[in-house]
Amino acid sequence: MSKNRVSWAEMLDVLTDSDREKTIVVERATETERMALFLLRRAGFSVQVASKTQKNYDLEAVRDNVSFAVQVSNQRAKVHLGQIEKFLDFLAHSDSGNFNEGLFISTSGFTKSVYTHLREEKYRHLRLAMLHDNQLDWEPEKNDAADDASKTIYIGVFTCKGGVGKTTISAHLAGAFALNGYDVALVDLDRQQNLRKLLGEGLYLPATKGKLGSVISVLSHDEWDETAYKGTKIVVCDCNPEFDANPIEFIRKFDYCLVPTTLNPLGVNKNADVIKRTFNQIRRENAKAHLFVLINSLQKDEESRNIILNEILEAQFEQFIERDKRCHYINPDKVAIRFSKQLLYWGFHIFDKSKPQLAFRTVGRYSYPRMDFLKLVDYLEMRTPINKAKTFSALVR
């Protein structure tokens, strides 16, 4: 343990100016929040515990006339992009008018997707810090434990019918991994060979400051070779809709399979059966893969209708998931691929002869496709046994 360990009594004396405040700190703040409060005061901030009813932040901190809403997380897993998105939404909302900036403090660090998102969006009003060994680390990315995959991860994207977004999802999921610093092989198993037509041999995602660029190589099934592509640890396959046409060696290797579907009244009752059939076919060949239903083309401004449609669809997977713990229905509350114009017209470069690129351009506040696919990466990584042991042992002492 760290040498500058302080007792709670000692800390309370330093951090509280009055008996009243002392009572508030003791009653309302968790141990981690108290530690954060103490460390922020020591760094020259004036800090208060947020009111009991405040759900968006835990502490209020002010320094040099800049006021921060501070969220403190002491969960065991790294803070993921969905949590950061909620906090950013709060900061952008008028309720947060008292604050100039946000500060997110985590005891376990942040996922790669969080760092990628903040880097790509160049947020100035959100800072991250890691709390460990009784210290605040203001540059957590630099000191975060490396969690590079030790084994190659295989992901298959299936659909029960054409046009639901298999190719779109394969390409952009590969893109999100590449933004996170992984080289990716995008294997085209579909006889339409759309990936080849859209991306040719592949894409290079250039480096952003202090980072290496990443490569997405588009390959056919017989071109993929684990030993030849040694540095490539992520393989995303755009699968053939006809199950038996997919090379069996890929089916057996999949760690994750995604089946995209959409929320609409006519599809919601019939699609579930086809998805379950696909799940069963995969399961016959592969006992270990995690299988996911993913909602694509979600209309984000249609909350009440989506809630009803989602309940109907999700209910059809209840028993299935009960029997097979490695099947998951991704609640669109957590992750979904939202409908976006960028994704709708992605691939238009074939017609106007421009250079291929992914639909990750920032429009308005941020790029929804980029946000959604980075969140999907987080979601998959949270369910992987790979990395976890290493990350936890490095961070939880």
Binding site for ligand ADP (CB under 6 A): 159, 162-168, 296-297, 337, 339-340, 343-344, 347
Token pair 């639901």 in the structure block, residue: 164
Q: Which of Mg ion, ligand ADP, none does residue 213 bind to, with CB < 5 to 8 Å depending on kind? A: none
Nearest residue to 193 (alpha-carbon basis) of 224, 166, 220, 155: 220
Binder of residue 164, out of Mg ion, ligand ADP, none (CB less than 5 to 8 A by kind): ligand ADP
Q: How far apart are CA 167 and CA 160, in angstroms?
A: 13
CA distance 189 to 221: 6
Residue closer to Mg ion by CB (options 22, 196) is 196
Q: Tell me how far, at minimum, the Cβ of 168 lies from ligand ADP, in Å.
A: 3
> C-beta of 169: minimal distance to Mg ion in Å?
9
Name the site residues for Mg ion (rule: CB under 5 A): 166-167, 194
Q: Helix (H, G, I), strand (E, B), or coil: what is residue 67?
A: strand
Q: How far is the CB of 68 from ligand ADP (least distance, A)?
A: 35
Distance (Å, whole) CA 355 – CA 203: 10
**Burial grade of 254 (CB within 10 A; 0-12, 13-18, 19 or more):** buried
3-state SS assignment for residue 274: helix
Whether 372 and 337 have beta carbons less than 8 Å apart is answered as: yes
Cβ closest to ligand ADP, residue 41 vs residue 221: 221
Residue 190: other Cβ atoms inside 10 A: 23
Nearest distance from C-beta of residue 188 to Mg ion, angstroms:
9
At its nearest, how many Å lie between ligand ADP and the CB of residue 339? 4
Q: Quick one: 159 or 246, whose CB is closer to ligand ADP?
A: 159
Residue 117 binds which entry of Mg ion, ligand ADP, none, with Cβ cut-offs from 5 to 8 Å by kind? none
- Residue number with CB closer to ligand ADP (116 or 167): 167
Min CB(342)–Mg ion separation in Å: 17
Residue 151 or 191: which CB sits closer to ligand ADP? 191
Residue 344 contact, options ligand ADP, Mg ion, none, Cβ 5-8 Å cut-off depending on partner type = ligand ADP
Q: Which is nearer to ligand ADP, 72 or 164 (CB)?
A: 164
Positions of E strands within the chain: 46-49, 59-63, 66-73, 101-106, 126-132, 135-137, 153-157, 183-188, 202-205, 214-220, 232-238, 256-261, 290-295, 327-329
